[in-house]
């Protein structure tokens, strides 16, 4: 793996000691011009004969090992750019970057953070701004003490054991089919989906495509990033940029004001959608006026929606993309560097920022973002008839952004298997794609019978993480909590024991039936260990829900909301807010105590407690309470 570091004097130390002008020399030998003002959509047409000449030229030098590794990971007939990342050789440009960098982090890091910068290009010579982004990001990390960086062009850095040392990956202007090894691709998507960060700029929108021509080679990467394509006009096009979400934490650097800018602005296409991403910046087409310069590719969108920067969640992953990165001067612009610093800290996991897609935002959803509340659908009693995919469809139909799942569920009619560790990698991919297409996130995962041994527990937690789960729900013996706590820390997952009156035998209640006893069991343990509160159980067994919330406090990790016509064994479910459960007071107490459960859930099944109309009434009631509580 190639590493470059930067000392306090701004001098770059390169362990391979590559010539400073290596890229320029290669392009000169090929007779290729820079990318500015050329047709990006078609790319730089490097003939195979020329590519082989470059490869032989490089293999003759000290970079032979790295180039060979990168070439082996690329598709046959494709040529990676030189294995050594380029350097900012101009001292004046380095000084401008240094002068523009923020003096401190946006937020203090919660723990030491590590960012992987990967800047390989395949069948394309690479943007000159790559070196400036590498330098700026590395130096911002050092100056602010917010993170450290490793710069590489070696695809082996995506081996599982290597990748787990990082908190986020920055694909720096990466054009072309970076690597085709299925294992490395699976490692990257599972890294992100399980809670890692991903940043991309400019040419990253055509990463993992066959170049030239941007022929799709990995569709799920485009979904994960949020868009594909690189159609553009002039490389110094002058546009007016609007803030689509002025109050978003990443946009605060702009002070609520749009601005004009010059760069090469991509007009992206599918799978881009405001139903998928949270748009931060876009072209203000009214202020920008008529097109400037000839189009390179199809630059017209029928919806007139030209997003330039966005965030999105992919499972638990934090994804950021911005097209404003073509020209080196972007990386000595103080506002843009602060914007990118916020993006880095978001991707690393230190700067909280909402990712609800723009098209799904309502006043109630914004209120819930402010409160830290998330409402999801949880399957009811008819699991034999209703699959996980059915539940996802029902959640989407009801407008729910989240869902919970149980191991008892069958995945789908097409995948007639339980939703558990027995799924293959491709079946797990199909679940990810189903969730993405529905615009729904999986937050909780419950299981009935605890795993039989340590090995089975050890398989359960990584499976849940790979599926983007945040909190597991189950009822292990209290003696097993030590091992579960360790697994929670290793996998960055939470574990909630069901705080409900179940009978393990005719004489023995559940280990965890009383909230006070559960709180005591959790005392001194990691905050990742807590309770799943079922208000139906509390109301039927006349446990005061407000007292239960006060006893559990921050240990209340997941809550299944119910309202009943009366308290006690004879009660039955009614629409929220219309029964004897004092549900509004319960939510007020949760708000007062600052409790932010992984998910509030509505237990629902087509043939169960509620008809769809009643479920919709419950969701509307929750929205109303959220608006009041957020004021």
pLDDT at position 383, please?
47
630 in helix, strand or coil? coil
Is residue 380 very low, low, confident or very high in pLDDT (cuts 50, 70, 90)? confident
Residues 6+ apart with CB under 8 A from 126: 23, 81, 86, 119, 173, 175
Within a domain: residue 178? Answer: yes
Angle between helices 388-398 and 425-438 in degrees, nearest 10: 10
pLDDT at 513: 77
Q: Is 112 exposed, middle or buried (0-12, 13-18, 19+ CB in 10 A)?
A: exposed
Judge if 481 and 587 occupy the same domain. yes
Tell how strand 209-210 and strand 148-152 pair up.
Answer: unpaired
User: Are 316 and 462 found together in one domain?
Assistant: no
- Residue written as token pair 């919970």: 404
Model pLDDT for residues 248-274, shown as the tens digit of each residue? 999 999 999 999 999 999 999 999 999
Q: Mark whether 377 and 402 lie in a shared domain.
A: yes
Look up residue 379 and give its two tokens: 């399957």
Same domain, 379 and 519: yes
Q: For residue 69, what is the domain's CATH number?
A: 3.40.50
Terminal Cα distance for the chain, rounded: 51
Sequence-distant (6+) residues with CB within 8 A of 172 are 117, 118, 119, 130, 133, 134, 137, 201, 204
Which SS3 state, helix, strand or coil, does residue 574 take? coil
pTM listed for this prediction: 0.87
Q: Is residue 288 part of a domain?
A: no
Asked if the model's pLDDT at residue 18 lies above 80, the reply is no
Average pLDDT in the chain = 86
pLDDT of residue 449: 80
Q: Is residue 585 part of a domain?
A: yes
**Does the structure show a pLDDT above 90 at 62?**
no
pLDDT band at 83 (very low <50, low <70, confident <90, very high): low
**466 is a domain residue:** yes
Residues 341 and 458 in one domain: no
Q: Is the distance from CB of 216 to CB of 209 less than 8 angstroms?
A: yes
Higher pLDDT, 377 or 22: 377
Comparing 120-129, 145-154, 610-619, the range with the smallest average pLDDT is 610-619
Q: Find the CATH number of the domain harbouring 410.
A: 3.20.20.150
Give the model confidence (pLDDT) of 590-606 as tens digits. 999 999 999 999 997 65
Q: What percent of the chain has pLDDT over 70?
A: 84
**Which pLDDT score is estimated for 502?**
59
Mean pLDDT of 133-142: 98
| Same domain? 458 vs 382 | yes
Specify the DSSP element, H or E, that contains 33.
Answer: none
State mean pLDDT over 298-327: 97
Q: Is residue 241 part of a domain?
A: no
**Is 260 within a domain?**
no
pLDDT at 86: 73
Does one domain contain both 315 and 387?
Answer: no
Instruction: Show Cβ contacts of residue 479 under 8 Å, excluding neighbours closer than 6 positions.
Output: none
Residue 551 covered by a domain = yes
- Alpha-carbon gap, residue 359 to 373, rounded angstroms: 19
The token pair that represents 528 in the structure block: 């990742």
Residues 535 and 587 occupy one common structural domain: yes
Distance CA 601, CA 556 (A): 13
Residues contacting 262, CB < 8 A, separation 6+: 236, 237, 238, 239, 327
Domain count, the chain: 2
Asked if 100 and 137 sit in the same domain, the reply is yes
d(CA 606, CA 17): 66
- Domain span at residue 447 reads 362-629
Count of alpha carbons within 13 angstroms of residue 260, beta-carbon side: 9
| CA-to-CA separations, 245 to 242, 347, 357, 602, in angstroms, rounded | 9, 18, 11, 30
pLDDT of residue 117: 98
More confident residue, 569 or 428: 428
Q: Is residue 556 part of a domain?
A: yes
User: Residue 205 has what pLDDT?
Assistant: 98
pLDDT band of 42, cuts 50, 70, 90: very low
Compare 537 and 77 and report the one with higher pLDDT. 537
Percent residues over pLDDT 90 in the chain = 76
Whether residue 341 is found in the same domain as residue 437: no
Is residue 514 predicted with pLDDT exceeding 90?
no
Given a cut of 50, is residue 388 above it in pLDDT? Answer: yes
Q: Say what the pLDDT of residue 28 is.
A: 35
Domain ends where: 348, 375, 399? 348
Last residue of a domain, one of 299, 325, 348: 348
Residues 42 and 174 grouped into a single domain? yes
Q: Can you tell me the mean pLDDT for 21-40?
A: 35
Contact (Cβ atoms closer than 8 angstroms) between residue 530 and residue 512: no
Last residue of a domain, one of 291, 320, 348: 348
Does residue 482 share a domain with residue 407?
A: yes
- Per-residue pLDDT at 50: 35
Mean pLDDT of 525-545: 94
- Between 49 and 624, where is the model more confident? 624
C-alpha closest to that of 513 among 462, 475, 560, 556: 475
The answer to whether residues 564 and 580 touch, using CB atoms and an 8 Å cutoff, is: yes
**Angle at CA of residue 301, ends 212 and 33, nearest 5°:** 30
């Amino acid at each position: 793996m190639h590493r470059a570091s930067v000392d306090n004097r701004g001098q770059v130390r390169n362990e391979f000691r590559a010539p400073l002008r290596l890229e320029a020399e290669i392009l000169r030998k090929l007779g290729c011009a820079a990318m500015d003002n050329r047709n990006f959509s078609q790319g730089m047409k490097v003939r195979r004969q020329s590519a082989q000449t470059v490869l032989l030229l490089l293999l003759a030098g000290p970079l032979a090992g790295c180039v060979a590794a990168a070439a082996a990971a690329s598709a046959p007939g494709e040529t990676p750019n030189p294995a050594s990342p380029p350097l900012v050789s101009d001292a004046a440009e380095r000084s401008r970057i240094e002068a523009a960098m923020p003096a401190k982090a946006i937020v203090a890091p919660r723990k030491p953070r590590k960012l992987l910068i990967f800047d390989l290009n395949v069948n394309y010579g690479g943007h000159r701004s790559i070196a400036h982004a590498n330098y700026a990001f590395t130096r911002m990390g050092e100056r602010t003490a917010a993170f450290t960086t490793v710069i590489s062009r070696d695809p082996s850095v995506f081996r599982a054991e290597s990748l787990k040392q990082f908190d986020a990956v920055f694909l720096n202007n990466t054009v072309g089919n970076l690597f085709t090894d299925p294992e490395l691709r699976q490692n990257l998507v599972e890294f992100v989906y399980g809670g890692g960060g991903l940043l991309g700029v400019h040419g990253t929108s055509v990463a993992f495509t066959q170049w030239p021509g941007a022929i799709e080679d990995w569709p799920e990467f485009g979904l994960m990033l949020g868009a594909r394509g690189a159609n553009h006009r002039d490389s110094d096009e002058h546009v007016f940029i609007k803030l689509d979400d002025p109050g978003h934490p990443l946009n605060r650097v702009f002070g609520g004001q749009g601005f004009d800018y010059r760069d090469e602005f991509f007009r992206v296409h599918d799978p881009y959608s405001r139903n998928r991403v949270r748009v931060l910046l876009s072209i203000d087409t009214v202020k920008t006026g008529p097109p400037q310069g000839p189009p390179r590719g199809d630059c017209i969108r029928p919806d007139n929606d030209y997003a330039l920067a966005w965030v999105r969640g992919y499972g638990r992953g934090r994804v950021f993309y911005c097209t404003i990165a073509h020209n080196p001067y972007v990386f000595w612009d103080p506002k843009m560097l602060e914007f990118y610093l916020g993006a880095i800290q978001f991707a690393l996991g230190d700067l909280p920022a909402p990712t609800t897609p723009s098209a799904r935002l309502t006043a109630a959803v914004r209120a819930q973002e402010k409160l830290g509340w998330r409402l999801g659908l949880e399957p009811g009693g008819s699991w034999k008839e209703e699959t996980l995919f059915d539940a996802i469809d029902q959640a989407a139909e009801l407008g729910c952004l989240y869902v919970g799942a149980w191991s008892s569920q069958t995945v789908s009619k097409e995948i007639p298997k339980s939703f558990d560790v027995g799924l293959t990698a491709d079946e797990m991919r199909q679940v990810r794609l189903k969730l993405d297409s529905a615009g729904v996130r999986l937050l909780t995962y419950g299981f009935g019978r605890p795993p039989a041994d340590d090995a089975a527990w050890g398989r359960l937690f990584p499976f849940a993480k790979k599926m983007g789960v945040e909190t597991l729900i189950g009822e292990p013996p209290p003696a097993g909590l030590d091992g579960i706590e360790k697994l929670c820390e290793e996998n960055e997952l939470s574990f909630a024991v069901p705080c409900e009156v179940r009978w393990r035998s005719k004489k023995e209640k559940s280990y965890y039936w009383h909230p006070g006893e559960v709180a005591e069991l959790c005392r001194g343990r990691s905050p990742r260990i807590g309770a799943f509160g079922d208000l139906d159980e509390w109301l039927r067994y006349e446990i005061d829900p407000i007292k239960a919330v006060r006893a559990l406090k921050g240990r209340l990790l997941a809550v299944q909301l119910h309202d009943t016509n009366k308290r006690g064994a004879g009660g039955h479910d009614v629409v929220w807010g219309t029964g004897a459960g004092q549900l509004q007071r319960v939510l007020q107490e949760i708000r007062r105590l600052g409790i932010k459960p992984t998910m509030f859930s509505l237990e629902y099944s087509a043939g169960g407690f509620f008809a769809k109309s009643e479920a919709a009434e419950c969701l509307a009631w929750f929205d109303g309470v959220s608006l009041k509580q957020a004021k």
